[in-house]
Chain A
Amino acid sequence: MALQSLDIAKRSATTTEPPQARKTIEVAKLIDVSKCIGCKACQVACMQWNDLRDEVGTCAGTYDNPRDMTDQSWTVMRYAEVETEERGLEWLIRKDGCMHCEDPGCLKACPSPGAIIKYANGIVDFHQENCIGCGYCVSGCPFNVPRISQKDSKAYKCTLCSDRVAVGLEPACVKVCPTGSISFGSKSDMKDLAAERVAELQERGFKNAGLYDPAGVGGTHVMYVLNHADKPALYSGLPADPTIAPTVTLWKSVAKPLAMAGMAAAALGGLFHYVMKGPNEVSKEVEAEVERELEGEK
């Protein structure tokens, strides 16, 4: 959605400075996994606020419903039953969705100007009216978040309720969470809140409790408090050290300027070769030889 009331920090496929005169604070959503009871109120609120209705799916024997994010489900609860040494069987429930990276891989990969925007407050938003449906954002994302609609071929994902945040409201999922597992505020406040909670958890025996704010993508504007922060993969495959894939960086940061220079060099090289060395014409000598040969035939 186009929200011109928020200033822009980064804009896809744009090489000039975006508008950034106004300063806003960086925001963040903090999801405290240790407080989550898996009620899915956040999923419902997301559907309601964003006018989304996913198709009724099938049960795969777990509580995961829908089983994956789709263009209609921008957040899903993922339920993992894991056995840890310290505590035996644990049910680790993670609300999955866009992490709103400080350095968004989707935005880096996107070829369409203005289809992906990172606002000054840190929210990464897809503007479907500029989306061309190539799916490069899917390749760029280290968290497997963007979903391409089967109907309109546009990419969709969590907007962090940029429309609500723009008018001073918290995201819909934050508003409805009954256990206070999801908090929203400035990123520094959320880090402070997380630090308090992590200390509490550590006191209560979760010695590896910690904050998930991965540095590989410059930090994220959706952060988790994990009771096993040393093993993020326990939480339905949360990547331990997510970064934009080297192939994507090579493609977008190295190949792009190099290839442009190479192709320009080939074209200019041709022009200047012609101008400086002249055309390669058939020599008068050879022409005369051929004439004589033809004469001889007669």
Chain B
Amino acid sequence: MIRDPHDLQRYTASERANHWITGICFILLALSGLSLFHPALFPLTMLFGGGTWTRILHPFIGVVMMLFFVVMFFRFQGLNRMREADWEWVKRAREMVNGDDHNMPEMGKYNGGQKLLFWFLGVAMLVLFVSGIVIWRAYFSASFPIGVVRLGALLHAAFAALMIAAIIVHVYAAIWVRGTIRAMLYGTVTRAWAKQHHRAWYKQMTGK
């Protein structure tokens, strides 16, 4: 594939692999989790070899996701600190969603929305991991009082639903903002993309 040599490197190969392992785990977890969440989606267990296999596999996939998420979290957390301009961006997000990004403040590598999503995912993963351990009947549930197990199941379902919704927003944002997905597929974005959406990062990368 011939790419423009002026394109900017947004993600390294290792970051991309890290992201996609996490992403694949998320998709498998969402499908298997939803299959056990609502009866209408129970047939999704067939993707995993039936109900019992779904129950066996789901928590192990969860552990793999947590491992890779933690690595990704520490890789990106420094770039995701909320700053003044980020809050301004969040306040004006509605204008941008409506198709007018002229008044949006200049953003670094990540905008306010991406940063909030990042921190939300961090919290959600922590809650899902801890509650997931609590409701992992085969190994751990017997060690917790029943009230804690019940709360664990509720929190696990609630945060999973919130996280699925958040990831839908994450994926949609990548589709909606044209020229974004390639950053996570082969690492680069065009200069024009960077200048339009992440002007401060563009300046930092190009010195312009």
A residues contacting B by CB (< 8 A) are 13-15, 109, 111-113, 130, 132-136, 138-139, 144, 148, 153, 245, 247-248, 250-251, 255-256, 258-260, 262-263, 265-267, 270, 273-274, 277-283, 286-287, 289-290, 293-294
The verdict on B205 contacting chain A, using a C-beta distance below 8 Å, is no
Nearest to B54 among chain A residues (CB) is A132
Interface CB pairs A-B, < 8 A, 14: A13-B39, A15-B40, A135-B141, A139-B153, A255-B158, A259-B37, A260-B38, A263-B164, A266-B168, A267-B168, A277-B99, A280-B101, A282-B197, A286-B195
A9 to chain B, nearest CB (A): 17
Which chain B positions have C-beta within 8 A of A133?
A: 52, 55-56, 137-138
Do the beta carbons of B179 and A245 come within 8 Å of each other?
no
A167 to chain B, nearest CB (A): 30
Do the beta carbons of A247 and B54 come within 8 Å of each other?
no
Which chain B positions have C-beta within 8 A of A15?
A: 39-40
Do the beta carbons of A286 and B196 come within 8 Å of each other?
yes
Total inter-chain residue pairs, C-beta < 8 Å:
145
A37 to chain B, nearest CB (A): 32
Do the beta carbons of B168 and A113 come within 8 Å of each other?
no
Which chain A positions have C-beta within 8 A of B154?
A: 247-248, 250-251, 255
Which chain A positions have C-beta within 8 A of B97?
A: 273, 277
Which chain B positions have C-beta within 8 A of A139?
A: 135, 146, 149-150, 153
Which chain B positions have C-beta within 8 A of A263?
A: 161, 164-165, 168
A263-B164, A263-B165, A287-B192 are known contacts. Are A273 and B6 too (CB-CB below 8 A)? no
Do the beta carbons of A279 and B178 come within 8 Å of each other?
yes
Which chain B positions have C-beta within 8 A of A113?
A: 39, 42
The complex places the Cα of A182 from the Cα of B48 at a distance, in Å, of 46
Do the beta carbons of A282 and B38 come within 8 Å of each other?
no
Within 8 A of A (CB), among B34-49: 36-40, 42, 45
Which chain B positions have C-beta within 8 A of A283?
A: 196
Which chain B positions have C-beta within 8 A of A255?
A: 154, 157-158, 161
A35 to chain B, nearest CB (A): 31
Do the beta carbons of A270 and B172 come within 8 Å of each other?
yes
Which chain A positions have C-beta within 8 A of B37?
A: 111, 256, 259
Nearest to A284 among chain B residues (CB) is B192
The complex places the Cα of A251 from the Cα of B161 at a distance, in Å, of 12
The complex places the Cα of A165 from the Cα of B6 at a distance, in Å, of 80
B208 to chain A, nearest CB (A): 6
Within 8 A of A (CB), among B172-205: 172, 175-179, 190-193, 195-197
The interface on chain B, measured as residues whose beta carbon lies within 8 A of the other chain's beta carbons, has a size of 55
Do the beta carbons of B157 and A259 come within 8 Å of each other?
yes
Which chain B positions have C-beta within 8 A of A273?
A: 97, 172, 176
Do the beta carbons of A13 and B192 come within 8 Å of each other?
no
The complex places the Cα of A263 from the Cα of B40 at a distance, in Å, of 14
Do the beta carbons of A259 and B161 come within 8 Å of each other?
yes
The verdict on B23 contacting chain A, using a C-beta distance below 8 Å, is no
Which chain A positions have C-beta within 8 A of B122?
A: none
Which chain A positions have C-beta within 8 A of B6?
A: 294
Residue-wise interface mask of B (160-171) relative to A, using a CB-CB cutoff of 8 A (1 in contact, 0 not): 111011001101
Do the beta carbons of B164 and A270 come within 8 Å of each other?
no
Which chain A positions have C-beta within 8 A of B98?
A: 277
**Per a CB cutoff under 8 Å, which of B171, B172, B190 touches A282?**
B190
Within 8 A of A (CB), among B53-69: 54-56
Do the beta carbons of A134 and B36 come within 8 Å of each other?
yes
**Per a CB cutoff under 8 Å, which of A138, A250, A262 touches B161?**
A262
Which chain B positions have C-beta within 8 A of A293?
A: 191, 206, 208
The verdict on B51 contacting chain A, using a C-beta distance below 8 Å, is yes
The verdict on B147 contacting chain A, using a C-beta distance below 8 Å, is yes
The complex places the Cα of A148 from the Cα of B171 at a distance, in Å, of 39
The verdict on B151 contacting chain A, using a C-beta distance below 8 Å, is yes
Do the beta carbons of A282 and B153 come within 8 Å of each other?
no
Do the beta carbons of B149 and A138 come within 8 Å of each other?
yes
Do the beta carbons of B141 and A138 come within 8 Å of each other?
yes
Which chain A positions have C-beta within 8 A of B171?
A: 270
Which chain A positions have C-beta within 8 A of B179?
A: 281-282
The complex places the Cα of A289 from the Cα of B192 at a distance, in Å, of 8
Known pairs A132-B36, A278-B99, A282-B179. 8 more at Cβ < 8 A? A133-B52, A247-B151, A247-B153, A248-B150, A255-B157, A274-B172, A279-B175, A279-B178
Do the beta carbons of A289 and B138 come within 8 Å of each other?
no
A70 to chain B, nearest CB (A): 12
